[in-house]
Amino acid sequence: MSWEYHVEMRPAFAWDCPECGTRNFHAGEQATAEEVAEIEVDADEVSNTGAYVWMPEDVTCVACGSTYRTVHWGEEEEDE
Ligand SMILES: [Zn+2]
């Protein structure tokens, strides 16, 4: 174990591929200060560093290449 370096932890989204079961991670894209000011954000959703990240609209599994549209955790899928 090396204590020589620190690594910077960033918010990310985790999801499990329905096709192959692989757990995938997708780094969130940090919102700008202007974007955060424009949207109504609950205080609980903003970290103590003020970071707020956007969820990707679609993701691709690193193992099998399947692509999916995304919904927020606990949200129902919308029919089109
Ligand atoms: Zn997969």
Distance, CA 31 to ligand 1 centroid (Å)?
Answer: 28
Distance, CA 70 to ligand 1 centroid (Å)?
Answer: 14
CA distances from 67 to 37, 55, 70, 73 (A): 32, 15, 10, 18
Compute the average pLDDT of residues 18-39: 86
Instruction: Name the residue with higher pLDDT: 59 or 35.
Output: 59
Question: What rounded mean pLDDT belongs to the chain?
Answer: 83
Total-model pTM: 0.68
Distance, CA 30 to ligand 1 centroid (Å)?
Answer: 26
